[in-house]
Copies of this chain bind each other. A is one copy, B any other.
Amino acid sequence: MELTPRQALIVDIVKKNEPITSEQIAEKLNLTRAALRPDLSILTMSGILDARPRVGYFFSGKPARNIISEKINNIKVDEIKAVPVVIKEGSSVYDAIVTLFLEDVGTLFVVQEDGSLVGLVSRKDLLKIAIGNADIHKIPVGVIMTRMPNLITVTPEESAYDAAQKIVDHQVDALPVVKIEQEGDKIKYRVVGKVTKTTITKLFVELGKA
């Protein structure tokens, strides 16, 4: 939050004199309390100042950004996840490309016969193979996919912030949302959703609505 010069001055006065009442602040600034009220409201509502009834204003040290951060960190992947499109490991690259267009998605999750996640293919992977000399009708997606355990995944319990940070840090377009299951001594990943740059952009718009 950008403070106006007067708001910055008020914060400064509160820092040095806390607790201080609005009358006292108004006096120091040579203003009426009515003139001061809008700035005090903004500073209190944004969490920069803390107001304790019958005591006065305090400097909270908590900038407006922290409220945003708190909100973003409290939204769970489970609440925002989108429907994943999956394809079998043995499908051809050509089938994968057709599925990509039909479903209008950027990433396909590759699963085994039992539904467990083994990899993913992106538009980029498919474009790379499509311009080569290989016969895309004969190559299975399993050959060109990014394979587990090299996938970056996220669980339903992680936050929207965690998911967005993984997307940025690892420079990927989409994360599979997985539930981890143990079968004997085998660990299996079941895809229960996806979080993509589109998911985050939609959430951003949702948060920005007045």
Q: Does A102 contact B (CB under 8 A)?
A: no
Which chain B positions have C-beta within 8 A of A165?
205, 208
Please determine whether B202 and A201 come into contact, CB atoms closer than 8 angstroms: no
Q: Does A72 contact B (CB under 8 A)?
A: yes
Which chain B positions have C-beta within 8 A of A210?
66, 69, 73
Contact with B along A170-209 (1 / 0, CB 8 A): 0000000000000000000000000011101111110111
Partner of A164, one of B41, B60, B160, B204: B204
Q: In the complex the two chains form, what is the Cα distance from A197 to B68 in whole Å?
A: 20
**Given A56-B53, A123-B123, do A101 and B128 touch, yes or no (CB 8 Å)?**
yes
Closest to A41 in B: B50
Which chain B positions have C-beta within 8 A of A52?
22, 51, 53
Please determine whether A205 and B168 come into contact, CB atoms closer than 8 angstroms: yes
Please determine whether B22 and A45 come into contact, CB atoms closer than 8 angstroms: no
Tally chain A residues at the interface, Cβ within 8 Å. Answer: 63
Given contacts A22-B52, A68-B207, 12 further A-B contacts (CB under 8 A): A2-B74, A44-B47, A65-B209, A66-B210, A67-B67, A68-B208, A123-B123, A126-B127, A164-B204, A165-B205, A168-B202, A197-B198
Which residues from chain A sit less than 8 Å from chain B, CB to CB? Answer: 1-2, 19, 21-22, 41, 44-47, 50-57, 60, 62, 64-74, 94, 97, 100-101, 106, 123-124, 126-128, 130-131, 136, 160-161, 164-165, 167-168, 196-198, 200-205, 207-210
23 contacts between A and B (CB under 8 A): A1-B70, A2-B74, A41-B60, A46-B47, A47-B47, A51-B51, A51-B52, A53-B54, A69-B210, A72-B204, A97-B127, A123-B127, A126-B127, A127-B127, A160-B208, A161-B204, A161-B205, A164-B208, A168-B201, A197-B200, A197-B201, A200-B201, A203-B204
Closest 3 CB pairs of A and B: A197-B197, A51-B51, A45-B47
